[in-house]
Amino acid sequence: MDDIPVSVLLGTLFFLVIFSAFFSSSETAMIALNRYRLRHLAKEGKRSAIISEKLLARPDRLIGLILLGNNLVNFMAASIATLVGIRLLGDLGVALAPIVLVMVFLIFAEVMPKTIAALKPELIAFPASYILAPMMKLAYPAVWLINWVSNGLLGLIGISLDDQGDGHLSREELRTVVLEAGHLIPQRHRRMLINILELENVTVDDIMVPRNEVAAIDLDDPINEIIEQLSHCQHTRLPVYQSNIDNIVGVIHLRRIARLMTDKNELTHEAIKEILIDSYFVPKGTPLHTQMMNFQRNKRRFGIVVDEYGVIQGLVTLEDILEEIVGEFTTDMQTHNLDIQSQEDKFYLIDCSVHLREINRQLRWSLPTDGPKTLNGLLLEHLEFIPESGTTLKIDNYLVEITQVSENAVKMARLKMLDETLESNE
């Protein structure tokens, strides 16, 4: 070694710094790779992604290889740096060499390459995989021995390679991924994806048309009244009952009755019974994602919601579920505008039969939906009695002024979201 020129030793030291930077950046880049993007690129046939995925299949071996190479390089560099120090400065060089070497390696072989690798993992990991793969084959005996010892010691403290998990995203994690997608996914599409994930938390009770608002045909009514009702009906399907709405006898489709409507004399109670479709009942509390699959499996678009006693609670349609995903797409806005009306003093005049989810969706509010489903139910739950007109109360961050009451329900109320500053002062 004494015959080797200092310039050659410095040049060797320079290349060792580069090798150390390679191993350090490769380790960070491989670990920082997005596994789902990596899997996607591998399925598309990108060779570097396929190699990287194989290397990451056994992270213990990959880390063992990188650390083996990195430590060999660092020890060689330390020896050469000490030799250079002795050549140039004598005994003082022995003391200064480690200090200088640590600073050089810390900056150029650790911090800089690892920072770049963390910011641009694919830029570093994919080219590095072409080098690491053959190195793994060449150094396999040494890597195997290192892993055998280290994994054995890990086993003594209760850690196994089987504990690394399946890598699958939970629903909440997937929700975060969608929300953080930014410009990669349009905002409307992100909203739809989130709504799909939320279907599991929403039941038919949250979106059904309640029993008291169901438009249905009573076969005990005179035929002229039935014809008048069908002529002005805005729905394509209507439940048909006899005497009591709990006695549903079927569902009528207006397309089937169109031919009979051309001549009133042909439309009779018996004719209506002949063209009825069998009723399809839905248990109360069914999650929306389950009900959508049930609609698809049974080739249905219309269901009648019943409780455990078979009492009619309301009705739900496939359109209602689709609107939970894509938002409102009906062209009839008359009812929509009458239910929630904006007023000049930042209050909203709201029909209390409206679902809380509908209010939250239209006004971007956060009224509690884990209990009652309608605004009337929410008010009665908080008050625990039928209030008088003019009663004012506060629910969370919302001010409520009751404006119209019947004998057994709150009909209309004015609501306003309180300012955050006002809320904090209170």
Pull the structure tokens for residue 98: 């480690």
pLDDT in the model for residue 261: 64
- What value does the mean pLDDT take over residues 59-82? 91
Provide mean pLDDT across the span 216-245: 89
Burial class (CB in 10 A: 0-12, 13-18, 19+), 171: exposed
Name the least confident of 81-95, 128-142, 327-341: 327-341
- Range in 160-164, 173-177, 276-280, 345-349 the model is least confident about: 160-164
Contact 359, 349 (CB under 8 A): no
Q: Which of 7-16, 22-31, 219-228 has the highest mean pLDDT?
A: 22-31
Q: Is the pLDDT of residue 220 over 70?
A: yes
Three-state DSSP state, 97: helix
Specify the pLDDT at position 195. Answer: 86
Q: What integer is the mean pLDDT of 371-381?
A: 91
Please spell the DSSP secondary structure of 353-416, one letter per residue: TSBHHHHHHHHT-----SS-SBHHHHHHHHHSS-PPTT-EEEETTEEEEEEEE-SSSEEEEEEE
Assess whether pLDDT exceeds 70 at residue 424: no
Write the CATH number of the domain with boundaries 334-425. Answer: 3.30.465.10
What percent of the chain has pLDDT above 70? 92
Q: What is the mean pLDDT of residues 9-18?
A: 91
Q: 35 pLDDT band (50/70/90 cuts)?
A: confident
The helix (run of H) or strand (run of E) holding residue 302 is: strand 302-306
pLDDT at 357: 85
Whether the CB-CB separation of 188 and 180 falls below 8 Å is answered with no
The reported pLDDT for the residue numbered 233 is 84
Comparing C-alpha atoms, which of 67, 82, 71, 76 is closest to residue 27? 67
User: Do residues 315 and 325 make contact, with C-beta atoms less than 8 angstroms apart?
Assistant: no
| The pLDDT of residue 426 is above 50 | no
pTM above 0.75, yes or no: no
**Termini Cα distance of the chain:** 80
Over residues 101-123, the pLDDT tens digits come to 889 999 999 999 999 999 999 99
- pLDDT of 97 reads 84
> How many secondary structure helices (H) and strands (E) does the chain include?
20, 12
Q: Which residue has the higher pLDDT, 333 or 295?
A: 295
Whether 91 has a pLDDT exceeding 90, the answer reads no
Whole-angstrom CA distances from 303 to 248, 255, 307, 362, 391 are 12, 18, 13, 25, 38
Mean pLDDT of 332-360: 80
Is the pLDDT at 330 greater than 60? The verdict is: no
251: Cβ contacts below 8 Å, ≥ 6 apart: 237, 238, 239, 240, 276, 277, 278, 279, 280, 302
pLDDT, tens only, 153-183: 888 887 776 655 556 777 788 888 888 877 7
Point out the least confidently predicted range of 148-152, 331-335, 368-372.
331-335
For the segment 351-371, the average pLDDT, to the nearest whole number, is: 88
Is 351 in contact with 405 (CB distance < 8 Å)?
Answer: no
3-class secondary structure, 351:
strand
DSSP one-letter string for 187-228: HHHHHHHHHHHHGGG-BHHHHSEEGGG---EETTS-HHHHHH
User: What's the mean pLDDT in 26-41?
Assistant: 91
pLDDT of residue 361: 83
The SS3 call for residue 348 is strand
Task: State the residue for tokens 């006004």.
Answer: 363
Say if residue 365's pLDDT is above 80. Answer: yes
Rounded Cα distance, 26 and 169, in Å: 25
Average pLDDT, whole number, for the chain? Answer: 86
Distance between CA atoms of residues 321 and 130, nearest Å: 50
* Average pLDDT of the residues in 2-19: 85
pLDDT > 90: percent of the chain? 47
Q: Is 310 helix (H, G, I), strand (E, B) or coil?
A: coil
336 has a pLDDT exceeding 80: no
pLDDT at 227: 85
Q: What is the pLDDT of residues 379-412, one digit of tens each?
A: 999 999 999 999 999 998 999 999 999 888 999 9
Higher per-residue confidence, 217 vs 181: 217
What CA–CA distance (Å, rounded) separates 299 from 288? 16
Min mean pLDDT across 7-16, 68-77, 197-206, 257-266 is at 257-266
288-303 pLDDT, tens digit each: 999 999 999 999 999 9
Do residues 34 and 49 touch, judged by C-beta distance below 8 A?
A: no
Task: Give how far the C-alpha of residue 364 lies from the chain's centroid of Cα atoms, to the nearest Å.
Answer: 18
What sign results for the dihedral spanned by CA atoms 98, 100, 104, 106? positive
CATH architecture group of domain 202-319:
Roll (3.10)
Match 């990669």 to its residue by tokens. 184
The yes-or-no verdict on residue 21 having pLDDT over 80 is: yes
Q: At what angle do helices 375-383 and 356-363 cross, to 10 degrees?
A: 110
* Domain definitions of the chain by residue range: 6-160, 169-201, 202-319, 334-425
